[in-house]
Amino acid sequence: MDKAYIAGRTPVRVDLVKGQKYAWCSCGASENQPWCDGSHKGTKFTPTVFVAEETKSVGMCMCKLSEKPQFCDGNHKRIKG
């Protein structure tokens, strides 16, 4: 697995809670998107672990092409096909 799987072609909106720790799936293989479920084991990918700085609703990247992971930056619009 050289490239991440495209888990979705649009972001998913989630409600983050300030101070809570999250692990965003960077490989696209998780069945619990956008969160890591351990499916990356044996690949070069690792989850992006972060603590929410504030309680708010955010768009999480599902295409795994964002240049500002773990958040959507609109790069899913460049997916062809």
Contact residues: ligand FES, CB under 6 A = 25-27, 29-30, 36-40, 45, 47
Nearer of residues 44 and 56 to ligand FES, judged by Cβ: 44
Half-sphere exposure of 3 (CA within 13 A, CB side): 6
Nearer of residues 27 and 62 to ligand FES, judged by Cβ: 27
**DSSP H helical segments within the chain, as ranges?**
none
CB of 29 to ligand FES, least distance (A): 5
* Bridge partners, 34 (sequence order): none
Nearer of residues 39 and 75 to ligand FES, judged by Cβ: 39
